[in-house]
Structure 1
Amino acid sequence: MNDYRTNGFRAIIFDLDGTLLDTLADIGDSVNLMLAEYGFPGYTTDDYRRFIGNGIRVLVTRALPVEGRSEEMVDACVRRARELYWENWNRKTRPYAGITELLDHLKKRGLPLAVLSNKPHDFTVRYVNAYFDKWDFKVVMGQNDHFAVKPDPASALDIARRMSLSPESFLFVGDSAVDMKTAAAAGMYAVGVAWGFRGPKELLENGCRTLVDHPLEILPLLEAD
């Protein structure tokens, strides 16, 4: 097994949506079904790129018209969107090209891995178990009652504590400003993925330290100087 203790990076935290998995169509389709049930207009799949990233409640609130954003309506729509997404969670979702190859390389190196998502925890675990059961993620964490959502760094710092590693030894890999800000706040090295939901401009403007166009471009960050 190769020594992965190079450049100070000893572990990786991955975002999920837009980083490991292209979940956009299934999320958009599920929210559109909910909106249609309530008589609200839907959106294109591409529109959902700007809605996603801050948790399901924010997603649903952004999708609702202003007149439909009462607390009671948002609560009801969140519940229904969750139900519909649970039924339609994996119809179109796929890992991005190169992700499984990257994970194979990291597995050979013995590099500790984690997933940190603003997706609800039960969905996050469901996705990781379904698509990435061949690889050992030491911690899988989604939105829960114990921590504020990203970009609050508390959840990332808890992962570092649970893995008995210093925050500065982590690469934090994500596709949005939320991820880049989380990395900076946690003292981790921010790696932005150009293939995700938001694109290079947002990443570079929000603290991305290395931008990658393909998953295997992450590997040189782990190589000895």
Structure 2
Amino acid sequence: MRLTWLPILKILALMQPTPPDSSASHAYQAAIFDFEGTLVDFQWRLAPAQDELRRAFTGLGFSGDEFSHGNYATMWNAAADLRRSQGRMAELREAVCPIYDRWDADALSRWAPRTGAAELLRRLATTGRRVGMVSNIGRKALTAALDRFQFAGLLLPVVSRDDVSFMKPRAEGILRVLTDWQLAPDAVLFVGDSRADVRGARAAGLPVAIIRGGECAETEFAGDPPDHMVSHLGELIELIAA
């Protein structure tokens, strides 16, 4: 009698384990947070600060579209591109960082934590997640704010603009945290409030969640859509530890 293998192959196929659903949510091993607009409300006075910075960069001899139309971060990055190649970063910091620091201090006088911020950071720590920060705020104001709002010790590492050559939307700070943690980009969620956060996270290969009501209005993300859009920090517990 001649045997057919077709029924046997069907049985073997049914015995194979079912592959995981790639569309299902997965837990992240870690999260990197932005600071202003994300864990605290956004208070930087952008218009007057950027006008002063624009005059300062022009006075240093910088010109071009990035300085006539750029924002506080992209103006710095364009200047740093040139000064770094010339070995003159210390000179740039000495000339311009006091202006950034002064507007940081002005915002610090008004910052208030977003509802549930400290609770979120503590809950993530209890689940064993690593939690860090990459911010365009300077070290002095950032350290004072983290102490004031009892965030200090809940975020490690904390990377300020003083710790990198380039601000977000460049990915330098985010990549520094990934290297420190030795984690793959898709294992880490970046949480921010601006297009710079989306672009910085994308440049580093990270998925990104944006919280509404920060530096950028929701309509501004049409060209840079995040992976997740949330309305309050409490939503991130389920998203990160799914």
Compute the TM-score of the two structures, normalised by the length of structure 2: 0.65
1:196 maps onto 2:196 in alignment: no
SS at match of 1:157: helix
The aligned counterpart of 1:126 is 144
Deviation at 1:156, TM superposition (A): 0.6
Matches within 5 A, 1:1-225: 7-24=26-43, 27-28=44-45, 54=73, 78=96, 81-82=99-100, 84-85=102-103, 88-133=106-151, 135-144=153-162, 146-224=164-242
Flag the 1:84–1:205 CA change in 2: closer, same or farther, 3 A. Answer: same
Question: How far apart are the structure 1 equivalents of 2:71 and 2:119?
Answer: 26
Deviations 1:118-156, CA, capped at 9 Å, x for gaps: 122333233223323454211101113643111111221
Compute the TM-score of the two structures, normalised by the length of structure 1: 0.69
Kindly provide the amino acid, as one letter, of the partner of residue 124 in structure 2. Answer: L
Flag the 1:52–1:131 CA change in 2: closer, same or farther, 3 A. Answer: farther
Deviation at 1:20, TM superposition (A): 0.8
Question: How far apart are the structure 1 equivalents of 2:177 and 2:233?
Answer: 22
Bigger CA radius of gyration? 2
Question: How far apart are the structure 2 equivalents of 1:55 and 1:131?
Answer: 29
Question: How far apart are the structure 1 equivalents of 2:104 and 2:172?
Answer: 27
Consecutive unaligned residues of structure 1, counting only runs of 5 or more, are: 1-5, 39-50, 59-73
Question: How far apart are the structure 1 equivalents of 2:132 and 2:241?
Answer: 20
How many residues are aligned here? Answer: 188
Question: How far apart are the structure 2 equivalents of 1:222 and 1:145?
Answer: 27
Deviation at 1:79, TM superposition (A): 5.8
Kindly provide the amino acid, as one letter, of the partner of residue 166 in structure 1. Answer: A
Consecutive aligned runs of 4 or more in structure 1 exceeding 3 Å deviation: 55-58, 74-90, 132-135
